[in-house]
Every structure is written in structure tokens, then in C-alpha cells.
């Protein structure tokens, strides 16, 4: 479990199991500082489409004014209007979006206290420019941002310690990255996860410049396998990744023996 998971209560699967704990109507809020909310996809809770629309509008109104909430986990579909309403929550320190058709994360510029941001299911997101220079961010996840062609604004996050950027594990559609050179300026990184990615330039040597990096997760691809084992001799992060290659090779060999 990564940093984002620790902040928001575990993996996606564990959050799904705890969906019953999420608030689905603003009237259920009792002043907590950390809450999970399902403002949409309430078919299983409310039969009337009209009532579901009224509840959604009530959440928009609820978020329009500051609350004591500092950790917010939106566990259902996040339309742009819902995301934009969070401008009324400048006290937010951690925000997780499960998924949605949101295209613009400009609201991030209105959340000065934000330190942890997880953009799940960001298939409609067009740019991460809004996070440029946000030195307060220490943990960032961007998932399935297939339309984002330039991740370089992330390289300006001088205090970022945990970064996950990529696709959905198990999906046939990878997030395509030109290279990893845009990550090199992030000197404070402790963990880097690039799940479901495909590198057009398979040179991963720029990651050696991340002297504080302790944990590295990349798809186990042949294109940079030799580099991983070469760098493992001097890098703790690459050593950990090399061990995963070795474990996978052993598992593959065992499967072949069993099937023969």
C-alpha cells in the first residue's frame, strides 16, 4: 500500500468494501475532519431520479462553503461541476477522486493547504498544468490520464515525495510516456510508481538522479530489463525492482513446468 492508500484508508478494493461507510447525503455529515462521500451513482440508495438530482445539488451547495473537512474521499463518479464546487473547501489537505468525466483540475489552485492529491480514473483530463509550482504537494497520483500529453508540470513540485502516474493495472490500454526525463527534477521523491505505462524512450537512467528514491515500481518490460539489473548494484530502488523481475521469472518457470 502506497502513501495515497494510507491517507485514504487502503486500496481501491478495501474502499469499495467500505462503501457503506460513505456519506450519501449532506444531512449525514456530523463535523468529521475526514470523510468519504458518494454524491452520485445512488441508484442503490434512492429510487427516484429526481431525488438523486436533488441530493447531488445539495452536495454542490454543501461544498460551496468551508467545512471542518481536511481529508475528502469522493468514492463515486465525479462530474466537473462537483469538482469545481470544492473551491469552497480551501482548508482541504487531502483529496481523492475515484473517477469521473472531469477535464479540468483548475480547482487545485484554489486549495492552498492541499498536500495529497489522487486523481483516479482521469480519462477525460486534458492537462496537469494547474499543479505547476504547487510546492505544498507531497503526494500525487494521476491514473488513466490518456489525454494528458505533457506531464512536465509535475516536475516543478519541489517537495513531492510520492508519485504514482500511469494506467489501471489489468487494462489493455497503457498510458504512453515519451520518457522519464520529466521525473528527474523531483529530488525529494521517496517512491515512484508508473503502473500500466509504456515508455517510447526506454532509457530509465534519469531515475538514478533521484538520490532519495527508496521504492520504484515499473511494468516488468524487456525494453529496460538490462538497465534495471545493471543499476541494481548501486541503487536500492532498482534493486527492489530487479527482485520483482527475478520473482516473476521464477513464477513463470514454475508455471511452464506445471503445464508441461
Give pLDDT, residue 184: 97
Range of the domain at 11: 3-160
Is 83 or 10 the better-scoring residue by pLDDT?
83
Give pLDDT, residue 117: 98
Q: What is the CATH number of the domain that holds 147?
A: 3.80.10
Render pLDDT for 192-232 as a digit per residue (tens, 0 to 9).
Answer: 999 999 999 999 999 999 999 999 999 999 999 999 999 99
In angstroms, rounded to a whole number, what is the distance separating the alpha carbons of residues 194 and 163?
8
For residue 138, being part of any structural domain is answered with yes
Give the model's confidence band at 1: pLDDT under 50 very low, under 70 low, under 90 confident, else very high: very low
In angstroms, rounded to a whole number, what is the distance separating the alpha carbons of residues 124 and 230?
38
C-alpha cell recorded at residue 195: 503502473
DSSP 68: S
Render pLDDT for 113-122 as a digit per residue (tens, 0 to 9).
Answer: 999 999 999 9
What mean pLDDT comes out for the span 155-173?
92
In angstroms, rounded to a whole number, what is the distance separating the alpha carbons of residues 189 and 156?
12
Checking if the pLDDT of 123 tops 50, the result is: yes
For residue 49, being part of any structural domain is answered with yes
Give pLDDT, residue 259: 84
For residue 226, being part of any structural domain is answered with no
On whether the CB atoms of residues 210 and 184 are closer than 8 A, the answer is yes
Cα 67 from chain centroid? 24
When divided into structural domains, the chain yields a total of: 1
Give the model's confidence band at 53: pLDDT under 50 very low, under 70 low, under 90 confident, else very high: very high
Amino acid at each position: 500500500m502506497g502513501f495515497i492508500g494510507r491517507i485514504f484508508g487502503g486500496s481501491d478494493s478495501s474502499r469499495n468494501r467500505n462503501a457503506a461507510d460513505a456519506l450519501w447525503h449532506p444531512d449525514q455529515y456530523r463535523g468529521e475532519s475526514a470523510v468519504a462521500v458518494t454524491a452520485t451513482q445512488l441508484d442503490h440508495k434512492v429510487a427516484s431520479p429526481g431525488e438523486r438530482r436533488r441530493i447531488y445539488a445539495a452536495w454542490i451547495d454543501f461544498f460551496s462553503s468551508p467545512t471542518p473537512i481536511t481529508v475528502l474521499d469522493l468514492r463515486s463518479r465525479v462530474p466537473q461541476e462537483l469538482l469545481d464546487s470544492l473551491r469552497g473547501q480551501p482548508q482541504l489537505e487531502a483529496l481523492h477522486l475515484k473517477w469521473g468525466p472531469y477535464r479540468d483540475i483548475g480547482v487545485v489552485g484554489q486549495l492552498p493547504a492541499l498536500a495529497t492529491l489522487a486523481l483516479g480514473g482521469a480519462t477525460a483530463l486534458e492537462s496537469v498544468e494547474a499543479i505547476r509550482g504547487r510546492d505544498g504537494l507531497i503526494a500525487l497520483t494521476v491514473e488513466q490520464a490518456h489525454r494528458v500529453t505533457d506531464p512536465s508540470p509535475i516536475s516543478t513540485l519541489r517537495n513531492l515525495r510520492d508519485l504514482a502516474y500511469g494506467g489501471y493495472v489489468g487494462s489493455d490500454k497503457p498510458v504512453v510516456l515519451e520518457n522519464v526525463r520529466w521525473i528527474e527534477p523531483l529530488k525529494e521523491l521517496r517512491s515512484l510508481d508508473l503502473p500500466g505505462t509504456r515508455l517510447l524512450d526506454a532509457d530509465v537512467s534519469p531515475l538514478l538522479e533521484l538520490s532519495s528514491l527508496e521504492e520504484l515500481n515499473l511494468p516488468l518490460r524487456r525494453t529496460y530489463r538490462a538497465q534495471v539489473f545493471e543499476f541494481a548494484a548501486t541503487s536500492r530502488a532498482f534493486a527492489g525492482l530487479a527482485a520483482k523481475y527475478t520473482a516473476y521469472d521464477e513464477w513463470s518457470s514454475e508455471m511452464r513446468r506445471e503445464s508441461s
